[in-house]
Structure 1
Amino acid sequence: MSHPLLQVSDLTIHGDGVTIAPFSLSLASGQRLTLLGETGSGKSLIAQAIMGTLPQGLTPAGELGIDGTSYAAADVAARRTLWGRRLALLPQEPWHALDPTMRAAAQITESHRHVAGLAPGKARQATQHDLAELGLEDAGGKLPGELSGGMAQRVAFAAASAGGAPIVIADEPTKGLDAPRRDAVVELLARTPQAGGALLTITHDIDVARRLGGEVVILRHGQVVERGPAERILEAPQTEYGRHLLDAEPSRWPAPPRLASAPDATPVVAARGLAKSRGGRQLFSGLDVSVLPGEIVGVVGPSGCGKSTLGDMLLGLASHDAGEIQHAPGHRLGLQKLYQDPPAAFSSHWRLSRLLDDLVQRHRLERAAIVPLMERLGLDERLLARRPGEISGGELQRFAILRVLLLEPRLLFADEPTSRLDPITQQQTLSLLVELARERRCGVMLVSHDPALIARLCDRQLALEENAEAASRPSAKAEPVSLA
């Protein structure tokens, strides 16, 4: 009988307020396993312990078997020679994985050359094939900072998988992607077990777990709650927590309270006839946008259609080619943005406590508001002692929400604000965001690739469509969305 490709025996992780109970798994050729659970349940830490990239202050114990060779979980150096060749990690945060000074195609080509060992010409051909397969034909010559979050995620995916490692760990590989590109990434992930490799996936997207199949493990607070075939776990979970997790899918959410707004209320922002081109391509033209106080307007459309660009224009962070934008009068901090990728919005060098202290002092805010908001967002006060790179992406996303709410904005452009959150935390966080928006009369433009989320949460919908043809034709439309 052949040995497992990946064996994890009694893995534990301790330190800095973290306790992961003994966790084991075994993945043979052709097998796949998906980890589900709330943000902070330990999913990403298990992946980091296998790779040997745990944050400072956390100590692993237990045994790992990688392609027939045994390693102590604490022996990090011995596993580094396997990176990219036998063991590959598709990272949760593309900004931590990509060189900001190197163009996208060059980063993928470098992996094909120096990890997979292809000749220069073959490496470039393989790169072009990867870019085309992921819908990135026009992205190869761009720097990571010039890419949308979804595009950067796909570039990091291509670079990490170029070495052809038979054991792949994918940490939230589809966050920030629209449905067609999410499905394309799932198909690419499935190729690893189909080719005889092993796949360990960490995701908050229950539909991704369904599509991948195999085995599913539900984690909570570092403990295995439920484990079994994906078909059984995701259709008929046996535990109360498993049922709670599935019930938090956006399609099952109750509708929030309707907006109570006077018919003649002054919009917090009103724009007429907006047009914008980028890279020689028309993103949209003739676009009208308005948001009332306390209103939640959903913004949808495929990756790269200009959703984030529209937000930057309305906030005064980017210019528009045509049209006009008017804002309701208010304080200078009234226009705020929740970024799709929070690592890009936080200084990596300072502890979170220092970053919040600086915000309070700089803008003379109420420090007493921090702890109650942390409690409502489900954030442990001990996280304040860590730096942004030392907490999960979901926790950092909630700190971004905390920070922007402290500023009491009148217009908030929320760009995929919960793409890193599990269904339970996502529902709690967005419910709180809507509640506070209604209370504070803050207009919110909410970007999401999840149509069920937009349909259940938003008062209206703005749909942006890809439009590389006639600039004179409006490429966006406003549609009412039923909250029933």
Structure 2
Amino acid sequence: MSAYLLQAEDVTIQGEGVTIAPFSCALKAGSRLTLLGETGSGKSLLAQAIMGTLPRGLSARGRLVIDGETFDAADDKSRRALWGRRLALLPQEPWHALDPTMRAVAQVAESHRHVAGRDRRAALQAAWADLTELGLAEAGGKLPGELSGGMAQWVAFAAASAGGAPIVIADEPTKGLDAPRRDAVVELLARTPESGGVLLTITHDIDVARRLGGEVVILRQGQVIERGAAQQVLTYPQSEYGQELLNAEPSRWPRPAPLGETTQAPVVTATDLAKTRGGRELFRELSLTVRPGEIVGVVGPSGCGKSTLGDMLLGVTRADGGKIQRTSGHPLGFQKLYQDPPAAFSPHWQLSRLLDDLVRRHRLDRSAIPPLMARLGLNEHLLERRPGEISGGELQRFAILRVLLLEPCFLFADEPTSRLDPITQRRTLALLVELARERHCGVMLVSHDPALIEHTCDRRIVLGDEQVSAAGQALYPAPELV
């Protein structure tokens, strides 16, 4: 029997404009391997090739050895019997992994019952124990649509882990999580190699890669650019791209130019807002204004009401108290960039069709699409794919493209770059700020990364434990961020 739990030998992926060069790895019990690299570089596709879940139109070649059993990478169906038992995937998109009609605890219990083999009562007890350990006991009775993006990610994590598979592939497992929960997930992931398993992680978060340790591989355009021990690669990268990747961490960004004075009326003003959800007060006496071209950051732990605040300002959710005043004369002027773009795109149609429908319905200028795609780093061949057939980062940029076509006067951007690598994230946010200034669009930007908010926004609002009731104290000029 092989000494390795997971081996990939010369795995290649090809089809529809995609070429992933031969990739190999050999991971013994206790190993940790992290894949870093730009959005669309093939990180998630390599995980899907191992699982046997490549999108339509793509095919893999090569040899896989999984827990001592050999497989042809081209035979996708051959690995299905391993799912959950010997090979587990923590998916990038929790909405694709969770049943929207089942409550959270039932979904975790289902894995304990049908994968781990527990009886109904024991499975339910184990599910509640898992959610309680993750700090999600209150989420157990809720449907996925009632959870924040971070909470849904954790429920998907609990469901995928229930079978106790020794080989775990985690695709962006900390996306959309605040720092404390991100660190907790890193600790949970580390249990697999510590108990004699193997952990393969895909992430854009360089700090997560540092904390996981082990070996790091940097990918770009389907090619391995650099690989080695995490401490070496993430401290002294040898490749030019590796150095660029580290320099693109938000803490190293320059601050944006100040907005300056404006005589224009605010695009949205809120006074003494209050909101309670599930018997818990999210905020009260919260007042704010967003001026044309201004970037206002919103920070706070998962589930503190950041998305709810945005929905209230957009008129989608009603406030329990307070008043909201929006500028008039903009029928399509109030728009949202969703935290999870798969929830905002129909999965059944090509992206070209979805954009054409938008242009036709609202009589937009279709000639604006190619230059925006170029500025967002989107290749034209992606238009012929469906939303589920491109990377999460690419779909997120398509969401930005689509909303910019509507030329909003107010944009609530809910974690709009959480799926992007640091380089693409920096370029995309710089473009968003630039266009907001050019078009006099007020932007409310949600992020769990304080450094990103500090180096992007003019002001910030703090929700959650740090929020104060007096709104003037809850807003800070960016240079005075603490």
TM-score (structure 1 length as normaliser): 0.97
Equivalent residue number for residue 6 of structure 1: 6
Q: Residue 298 of structure 1: CA displacement?
A: 0.3
Q: How does 1:176-325 map to 2 (within 5 A)?
A: 176-262=176-262, 264-325=263-324
Q: Residue 120 of structure 1: CA displacement?
A: 2.3
SS at the partner of 2:432?
Answer: helix
Letter in 1 for 2:92: Q
Letter in 2 for 1:290: T
Check 1:82–1:247 CA distance in 2 against 1; reply closer, same or farther (3 A cut): same
Letter in 2 for 1:267: P
Distance 2:352 2:189 in 1: 38
Deviates more, 1:135-144 or 1:192-201: 135-144
Letter in 1 for 2:186: V
Aligned 8 A contact 2:287 2:472 in 1:
no
Distance 2:172 2:480 in 1: 29
CA deviations on 1:330-378 (whole Å, 9 max, x unpaired) are 3210000000000000011111000000100111110000000000000
2:461 equivalent to 1:453: no
Distance 1:56 1:45 in 2: 12
Distance 2:399 2:421 in 1: 16
Check 1:97–1:476 CA distance in 2 against 1; reply closer, same or farther (3 A cut): farther
Distance 1:475 1:347 in 2: 41
CA deviations on 1:121-159 (whole Å, 9 max, x unpaired) are 222221112111212111001111111111111000100
CA deviations on 1:41-69 (whole Å, 9 max, x unpaired) are 00000000000000011010000000111
CA deviations on 1:165-216 (whole Å, 9 max, x unpaired) are 0000000000000000000100000000000000000000000000000000
Q: How does 1:46-57 map to 2 (within 5 A)?
A: 46-57=46-57
Q: Residue 475 of structure 1: CA displacement?
A: 12
Check 1:461–1:473 CA distance in 2 against 1; reply closer, same or farther (3 A cut): closer
Q: How does 1:20-99 map to 2 (within 5 A)?
A: 20-99=20-99
Equivalent residue number for residue 386 of structure 2: 387
Equivalent residue number for residue 158 of structure 1: 158
SS at the partner of 1:84?
Answer: coil
Letter in 1 for 2:128: Q
SS at the partner of 2:304?
Answer: coil
Aligned 8 A contact 2:255 2:454 in 1:
no
For structure 1, the residue ranges without an aligned partner over 5 or more in a row are: none
2:431 equivalent to 1:432: yes
The partner residue of 1:480 within 473, 477, 480 is: 477
SS at the partner of 1:348?
Answer: coil
For structure 2, the residue ranges without an aligned partner over 5 or more in a row are: none
Check 1:483–1:400 CA distance in 2 against 1; reply closer, same or farther (3 A cut): farther
Letter in 1 for 2:322: G
2:328 equivalent to 1:329: yes
Equivalent residue number for residue 367 of structure 1: 366
Letter in 2 for 1:261: E
Check 1:2–1:446 CA distance in 2 against 1; reply closer, same or farther (3 A cut): same
Distance 2:141 2:257 in 1: 46
Distance 2:382 2:198 in 1: 34
Check 1:340–1:259 CA distance in 2 against 1; reply closer, same or farther (3 A cut): same
CA deviations on 1:305-349 (whole Å, 9 max, x unpaired) are 000000000000000011000012232100000000000000111
The size of the alignment, in residue pairs, is 481
SS at the partner of 1:254?
Answer: coil
Identity of aligned residues (%): 74
Query: CA RMSD of the aligned region, Å?
Result: 1.6
Aligned 8 A contact 1:111 1:160 in 2:
yes
Check 1:147–1:212 CA distance in 2 against 1; reply closer, same or farther (3 A cut): same
Letter in 1 for 2:460: Q
Deviates more, 1:394-403 or 1:329-338: 329-338
Letter in 2 for 1:371: P
Aligned 8 A contact 1:459 1:483 in 2:
no
Q: Residue 86 of structure 1: CA displacement?
A: 0.1
Distance 1:283 1:475 in 2: 18
Distance 1:169 1:179 in 2: 21
Check 1:2–1:56 CA distance in 2 against 1; reply closer, same or farther (3 A cut): closer
Aligned 8 A contact 2:268 2:325 in 1:
yes
Q: Residue 221 of structure 1: CA displacement?
A: 0.4
Letter in 1 for 2:18: V
Aligned 8 A contact 1:284 1:474 in 2:
no
Distance 1:245 1:202 in 2: 15
Q: Residue 467 of structure 1: CA displacement?
A: 8.9
Distance 2:165 2:462 in 1: 39
Q: Residue 466 of structure 1: CA displacement?
A: 4.1
Q: Residue 476 of structure 1: CA displacement?
A: 8.0
Distance 1:410 1:306 in 2: 23
Distance 2:2 2:47 in 1: 24
SS at the partner of 1:482?
Answer: helix
Letter in 2 for 1:210: R
Letter in 1 for 2:395: L
Distance 1:104 1:473 in 2: 36
Check 1:257–1:473 CA distance in 2 against 1; reply closer, same or farther (3 A cut): closer
Q: Residue 436 of structure 1: CA displacement?
A: 0.2
TM-score (structure 2 length as normaliser): 0.98
SS at the partner of 1:81?
Answer: helix
Distance 1:107 1:236 in 2: 43
Check 1:309–1:106 CA distance in 2 against 1; reply closer, same or farther (3 A cut): same
Letter in 1 for 2:479: S
Q: Residue 428 of structure 1: CA displacement?
A: 0.5
Distance 1:425 1:49 in 2: 24
SS at the partner of 2:4?
Answer: coil
